[in-house]
Structures are given as structure tokens and as C-alpha cells.
Chains A and B, each alone.
Chain A
Amino acid sequence: MTQSIVVQVGQCGNQVGCRFWDLALREHAHVNKKGIYDEALSSFFRNVDTRTSAGEGIRGGKISSLKARAVLIDMEEGVVNEILQGPLREVFDSKQLITDVSGSGNNWAVGHKVYGCTYREQIVENLRKAAEHCDCLQCFFVIHSMGGGTGSGLGTFVLNLLEDEFPEVYRIVTSVYPSAEDDVITSPYNSVLAMRELTEHADCVLPIENQSLVDIVNKIKQMAYSGKPGAVIKQDSTIISGRGGVSSLEKPFDAMNNIVANLLLNLTSSARFEGSLNMDLNEIAMNLVPFPRLHYLVPSLTPLYTLADVNIPSRRLDQMFTDAFSRDHQLIHADPKHSLYLACALMVRGNVQVSDLRRNIERLKPSLQFVSWNQEGWKTGLCSVPPVGHSHSLLALANNTCIKPTLVELKDRFMRLYRKKAHLHHYLNVDGMEQACFTEAVSSLTSLIGEYEQLDATKGLLAAEAPRLNIAV
């Protein structure tokens, strides 16, 4: 069994990360009733005997004290301190934390260049230590936001470090993109500067938009309080349910962060539990990334909740597949149905058979457009353990040109500021930051948009079959 390490950077990264740990504990507690430290737990947790304060617990033995395989980085103390005082304090120890007091001032350059330089050694040290506790480290999950200074700047700096120090280990990045009316005025700068790093150094990026999370939360709340008969939602089944393994109080943003945490839980489920069709983490990039730079995978999660009265489960199962392709369930504002698929992964959990998968793929295929050379671009995984409160669930990851509008909008917002050179001096004052960083970042984004555009233009065209090799008879 392989292990993964979560690197959570900045306020958003740490808040999402904590929801992940909380829900992961809930999930394992639900499956693992005997309190045995098993292979599944070992993928994200260490078992430490606190009395001797040393040594990795033996698999198959009793759980004594679980420690998250995580590195927490923030350049303010607020969020991390809150964690240390909160119910999750037990799963982290102080050696896993890197904090500063003054913050990055919403400035990518401060996070990337200043704090990057200052904390480089310490970060590498912490990463190494976390890696040493793994016997087969497969994947780093970086969680950060794109709009602020620490998450985007230092987060992408950490990404570069990971590539240098652990070139063999996969880097899957969960990036939260700011809303259009974000209150951070420099967020377009930060996002575009970070984009270039993501495009060049990540194996996969799962883009998530704040606004989409807000919309989904509102929708679930509406359903929950609509009072319609028959629309009673099972409490622990909504993906915004905050009842975690250890915490019970809900904080603002928890509902939104829970969605992202659930995304990560589903993404890693096949690596943690068994199933009839395993989908390992290293298969994600292999199947979904046809060209190295085009590694942005649009996620969607279904079902968002389960109705309390159980009827016609098979129809609901099919509905789950249908929903995964609807605009409402995407975690960014995008419409994959009207864009071009390069590849698509379906990661199913729960009591679902391969025939259910096949039936739904056949059913949905006519309404989806796939690039000519990948007409059967489906990657599927079946994990037998469903999420807590659900009988089944689906995470779809789409490498789809529908990401383009998001990128174009990001670029437009960037250009609006950049044309006026607004706030530019804040960045250029930082050591090591030059105007070239901006021009290179924007041209990287432009060419990324261009690559998606080119592929999107082939949509609907019946591509001629490539002439086959001729064999002389």
C-alpha cells in the first residue's frame, strides 16, 4: 500500500485540509470499527505511540495515536493556531507546522520569493521528515488558493520544491480559484502568476471555483429546508455535512470546504480501500493527461445528498451518472457537455457493478463530445467502500476544453489591471521579482488557452482516419 502526504498552504489550504482530515477520520472510523491500524489508515495517517514518542506503529496493531501525514504552512498564525486549539490538535504535532506572523499581504511575490527563500530549508526538512515516515510515498496533495499571497505564492513555491526534491512522486494540486468579485484586488495577478507554475510543475491540477462551491452549498440548503414532503435529506449524507470524526461545531466556510474535502476523499478512496477495479493515483495522470501541459481536470461530485426515504435505487444510480455531467455539479463554472472531452475518469464508490458503469457510459456517450483520437477516452474505477451516509457516490474528472472560459476570464481580469500597471510596484519592489515574471506568466496562460482552443475547434469535425501503415504482401 502506498502513502500520500498532504501539503496545505495558506488560509484556504489549511481550512480545506482540516476538513479533509476530519472527514477522513470519520470515514475510517465508520469502516474500521475495531480500532486497528490497517493498510487503509496508513495511507494518510501514521500510528504513533505517544508514550515512547517514537516509532511507527505496526500495521494490524491497535491504534494508539494517529498523526496526519501532512505539512501545514501558513504565513499567518491565525488559522494554524485555531487548528492547534481545536479538536484536530491531536493529529498534528508542532514539527509539522511552518508559520510566520506577518502574512503575505495578498502578494504572490512575497509568498513565492520572500517567504520561499526564507523558509526553503525548513520546508524541505519538514517534507523529508514526512517522506521518511512513508515506506512507499506515491503522491503529494497540495491544497492552496490562487487569489491570496501565501497560498498562491508559497504554495507554488512548494510545488517547485517537490519537483526538485521528489521528482518520482506525483504532484496533484487542488487549487481554489477566486470569484470574479473577489475582495482581494490583486487576486488576478496572484492567480495568473500561480497558473504558470501549475502548468509547468504539477502532474494534475483540480481547479475549483469559490463561486461554484457557494452555489452548491446554497442548493443543498434550499433542498434541506424546502419542507417538501419526501424531500427529507439524510443528515449525514450531504457532502456539506460537517459531522466529522472529531469536531462537531460548524464554522463559516466549513460547508464549502467540506465539498473540497469530499473530493479528495473520493479521489483517494481507491488507493485506500479495495474494489473490483482499482484505480491507483498514478493512473490518473497516465490516463487523463494526453499532453503534458494540459493537465487541468474539472471535477464534479454526485450525489450531493441522499434523500432519507429510499426508493427506486437503480434510477437514482443512473441519475448520479447523469448529474455528474450537468453544469450544476461541476466544481468550476463550466459546461463540459458543450465542450470537447480529451478524457474522462469516473471514480465510483459503493455497491456498483461494472455493468452499471458500462450501461451508463453507453447511455451518456451520445450526449458528449470526445476528441477524435480518443473516442473511448474513459477511465473507470470501482471502490467497494461508499462514503459515510451514502450507498454510492461518483467523482468525475474531466479533461475538457470547458476550462477555457475560466482561463480566459482570469486573463481578462489580469489584463485590466496590468494595462494600467495597477499595484505593480508592490510586486516589483520584492527582491527577485521582475516585470518579465508578469509577461512570461501571461504568455504561458495565453498559450495554454490557445492549446485548449485549438482542440476545441476540432469539435464536431469528423476527423479523417490517419492512413494506416502499408504492408507489402
Chain B
Amino acid sequence: MSVVTVQLGQCGNQIGQELFKAIGDDSSSGQGLCSEGQKQAYAACSQERFFFLEQSGVPSARAVLIDMEPKVISQTMATAAKSGRWKYGDQSYFCQKQGSGNNWANGFCAHGPRHEEAVLDLVRREAERCERLAGFFTMMSVAGGTGSGMGTYITQCLRDTYPHSFLLNQVTWPYSTGEVIVQNYNSVLTLSHLYQSSDAILVHENDTVHKICSQLMNIKHISFQDVNKVIAHQLGSVLQPAYTSAVDTQYSRNPLGDLMSSLVCHPEYKLLSLRNIPQMSDSSLEYSVFAWPGLLKHLRQMLIANAKMEEGIDWQVRASQSRPSTGQKGNPSKHLRFNTSLANLLILRGRDVYSADTGGFAEPLLYSSWLPAEVAFNTWRSPKHFNRYEKSATLVSNSQSLLKPLDSIVGKAWNMFASRAYVHQYTKFGISEEDFLDSFTTLEQVISSYTHL
């Protein structure tokens, strides 16, 4: 089945381009698959998911590019075309001349409704080109104006137009300091609205990825491209073909649907986070050897100690029955050392995947009391090496791990809202103080739910 990707704003478009590049690169190497037939099957499955084969023979991404200003889109399309291995459809972009100016309300109230029809036309065309539509995958940041505001609006439109399709939103959370000053407002408005219309929200934090770049990848001068590449790598490792059960000979049919059914079992809990291992610079990779038990032991501890990468893991943290104590509101981090999960999806790729013992992730102690571990934990496997890594494991979790950053975003936005700073910029476009309050309420509810998991 095929996924239609919608890339919104500067961030969404740049990450999208890296994602398609990573997927294309991965599919073109068959390392780890023994027979020619297997290689072809993998490549064909990936192709069906993400690319449309044009008559020229060049794969064209099943993607719609949207931005309110032309610079990033033209750059993105040009970079893709230059690769010679894939491209974006010549007509599958929509841009305007003037950006949303970091104003969520401008994207949501002005640009969204104004350009709804044009954007949905593009999406429809892309959807009609799919033999079987798995769903939509949107990518955007929550900080800016176009990605966040317009992205939220378009997600709502997709929900209305395609009520039975899966909707996965990949969102990038801004650096906690300084990209956009009103980023916390924009984030609160985006997340609260997405929570109503999206099936699942897959979160990347710039701060975390930045740390991965500096500490694991050893990059000295980290650029946005480096950050985006890591995000693309992580996303690719989830979205590329894999077998959903040990006896399968067929790749998962619907990557979005399978992801949702493994991870999102309750509408109150739809924040997903990603961890992967190993992750290192190309030069170190050449000299490294990995064994599944070591990788999975690290990954498991990353999960329960809520570490986003394999360096600096707190090995003291043990899985334990969580006790949501009272009076911890406002600062859940202090009390929550153990990261309780609702559900986990482990994706293993590479050599000897079937010998890997994943029992450590199936312990009932890791999960909430109301969802049995057999349901809460799923594994996908693929023997193919993923993007040069001989073995790699990715864990998608619906857990408490985003609680702390979410709480911090809401807290900062709330402090600002208390003085009503910047609110006039939003009311100008029709977002009232009431709307702000509703959004705060929605997210406080989410925080509360996850806290008491």
C-alpha cells in the first residue's frame, strides 16, 4: 500500500527531502538479503509505499510540498532532481510568496482556509495515483507559522476528506531556546488541535537530535542538514518494509495502520517517541561490531530510564510499578524516574534478526496495569541491513517520555499567557483568548493522563 506524504513549511520540506533520500538509498542496496528475489521484493515494496514510477523511469515521491514562501520548496525540489535517482512531481507543490511570519494564527486562520482547495487538489491527485492508499504522513515543525498553523489546518481537512484513512503526523519540536520566540504558543496551539484530528503524533525534539549529532555522530559544526538527516534515518527505519511477525513471508501491508494498531490503543494517548541504536559517524561505523544482546540491553535501558541516546544512560533505573503520587503536578519529572510505557514497537533490521531475544521488552512491569504486555509490545523484523548499519534497532514508544518536554512547553506558554504577551498578534487573525484557554486545557488533560499512566 502507498503512503502520501505531505511536507509543510521549511522544516517539513527539508526533513521530507532527507527522508525520501534515505529511503531511496536504503532500497537500492540489498545488503543482508540473500536472494535476488528478496532484494527485488524489498525494493518493490518500498517503492510502492513511497514512490510513483513515472514514464521516464525516474521514481517520483508520493509527496505534496507546501510552503507559503518559495525559497525552500525550490531548493528542495532542485536537490531531489539533482540526485538523478528520484525526484518530486513537477506539479506536486504549492507555494505562495509571503510566509506566515511565525504566526500560527496566520497559517491556521488565513493561509489555511484560503488555500485549502488548491492543497487538497494536490493531495487528491497524489492519492488517486496510489493503487491502494494506506494513509497520510504529514511532516512539519510546531514552532513556526506555516508548518504549524497551516499544517494543523490541513490535517483537519484531511481528517474530514478522508475519514477512514490513517493520519500520522511527524512533528519537530523546537530547540528549547531560541528559534522562534512565540514557539511555545505555536506548539500549544498545534499539539492541542492535532490531538483532535490526528491518529498519532510522532515527535522529534531538536534538542535531542542535536545532542545525538554532537555526541554520537561527532559532528563539530552541526547544521540543520545534520539534524534533519538523523531524523530522516530514524523515520526511514520505521517506515521501510519489515515483517510484522516471525512467520511472515509478506512485508507489512500498511505501515501506518500496523504502526497505529501496535501503538495507539486509546485516543487519549497518541504521542509517540523514537529511539534508535546504534547511531554513529560513518568512520566509527566501519570499525564497530554489534551484537544483538548488547544493543537490546542498551535500548531497553534507554526506554525505562528515558534516555534518548545510548550515551549517559542512567543504569540505576529499574522497572517498577509506577505510583502516581499526589501533588506532583507541574513538575512530573522529579518523581518519574522510571518511564512507564503504554505500548512499544521494536523494529529490528539486519543480520541474525531472528536470533535476537526481545524478552526484555515484554515484561509486564514496563507497561500500564490495564494493557497486557503481549498486546502492548510488538516486534517487526527485516534481515536487510538498514542504511549501512549491519544491525540496527528502532523503538517507537507510546510512553511517558515526552511528558517532561511537553510540560515544559505548556508551562512556558502559560507563563507568557499570564501576562498576555504577544496575544494581540493572534487575536489579529481571529484566535481569541478563549481559544488559547481551550488549547491549554486540552494539553493539561494530556499531561495528566500520561502522568497517571
Residues of A within 8 A of B (CB): 1-2, 135-136, 138, 274, 276-278, 280, 282-283, 285-292, 343, 353-358, 361-362, 365, 372-380, 463, 465-466, 468-471, 473
Q: Does B177 contact A (CB under 8 A)?
A: yes
CB-defined contacts of A2 to chain B, threshold 8 Å: 69, 97-98
B221 touches A343 (CB 8 A): no
B182 touches A287 (CB 8 A): yes
List 28 A–B pairs whose Cβ atoms lie within 8 Å, in order of A's numbering: A1-B71, A1-B97, A2-B69, A2-B98, A274-B75, A278-B72, A283-B180, A286-B182, A286-B422, A287-B180, A287-B181, A289-B425, A290-B422, A291-B421, A292-B424, A353-B223, A355-B220, A355-B221, A362-B177, A376-B412, A377-B178, A378-B178, A378-B179, A378-B181, A379-B178, A466-B418, A469-B441, A473-B448
CB-defined contacts of A354 to chain B, threshold 8 Å: 222-224, 227
Query: Interface with A: B99-107, B156-164, B352-360, B396-404, which one?
Result: B99-107
User: Pick the contact of B99 from A283, A375, A466, A469 — CB < 8 Å?
Assistant: A283
A287 touches B221 (CB 8 A): no
Q: Does B137 contact A (CB under 8 A)?
A: no
Complex formed: what's the CA distance from A465 to B447 in Å?
A: 18
Question: Which of A288, A354, A356, A372 has the most chain B CB atoms closer than 10 A to its own CB?
Answer: A354
Q: How far is the CB of A376 from chain B (nearest CB, A)?
A: 4
CB-defined contacts of A465 to chain B, threshold 8 Å: 330, 411, 415
Complex formed: what's the CA distance from A288 to B181 in Å?
A: 8
Query: Nearest 9 CB-CB pairs, A to B?
Result: A378-B178, A282-B101, A136-B97, A466-B418, A290-B421, A287-B181, A355-B222, A471-B448, A353-B221
Q: Does B33 contact A (CB under 8 A)?
A: no
User: Pick the contact of A343 from B97, B181, B447 — CB < 8 Å?
Assistant: B181
Closest chain A residue to B105 by CB distance?
A: A286
CB-defined contacts of A292 to chain B, threshold 8 Å: 424
Number of A-B contacts (CB under 8 A): 137
Complex formed: what's the CA distance from A274 to B414 in Å?
A: 34
Complex formed: what's the CA distance from A358 to B176 in Å?
A: 11
Residues of B within 8 A of A (CB): 10, 69-72, 75, 96-99, 101-103, 145, 175-182, 210, 214, 220-225, 227, 329-330, 410-412, 414-419, 421-422, 424-425, 440-441, 444-445, 447-448, 452
CB-defined contacts of B411 to chain A, threshold 8 Å: 465, 468
User: Pick the contact of A373 from B71, B98, B175, B415 — CB < 8 Å?
Assistant: B415
Q: How far is the CB of B334 from chain A (nearest CB, A)?
A: 15
Question: Which of A1, A377, A465, A468 has the most chain B CB atoms closer than 10 A to its own CB?
Answer: A468
Interface contacts beyond A1-B69, A282-B98, A380-B179: sample of 13 additional A-B pairs, CB < 8 Å, sorted by A: A135-B97, A278-B71, A278-B72, A278-B99, A289-B425, A355-B222, A362-B177, A373-B415, A374-B421, A377-B181, A379-B180, A466-B415, A469-B440
CB-defined contacts of A362 to chain B, threshold 8 Å: 177
User: Pick the contact of A274 from B71, B99, B412, B425 — CB < 8 Å?
Assistant: B71
CB-defined contacts of B178 to chain A, threshold 8 Å: 357-358, 361, 376-380
Using known A-B contacts A2-B97, A278-B72, A288-B181, determine if residue A372 contacts B415 with beta carbons closer than 8 Å.
yes
CB-defined contacts of A276 to chain B, threshold 8 Å: 223-225
B223 touches A470 (CB 8 A): no
Complex formed: what's the CA distance from A277 to B447 in Å?
A: 31
Q: How far is the CB of A348 from chain B (nearest CB, A)?
A: 12
Using known A-B contacts A465-B415, A466-B415, determine if residue A378 contacts B177 with beta carbons closer than 8 Å.
yes
Complex formed: what's the CA distance from A280 to B210 in Å?
A: 24
User: Pick the contact of B98 from A138, A287, A378 — CB < 8 Å?
Assistant: A138
Closest chain A residue to B184 by CB distance?
A: A376
CB-defined contacts of A355 to chain B, threshold 8 Å: 210, 214, 220-223
Complex formed: what's the CA distance from A252 to B445 in Å?
A: 65
Closest chain B residue to A170 by CB distance?
A: B101
A356 touches B221 (CB 8 A): yes
Complex formed: what's the CA distance from A48 to B447 in Å?
A: 59
Complex formed: what's the CA distance from A135 to B441 in Å?
A: 42
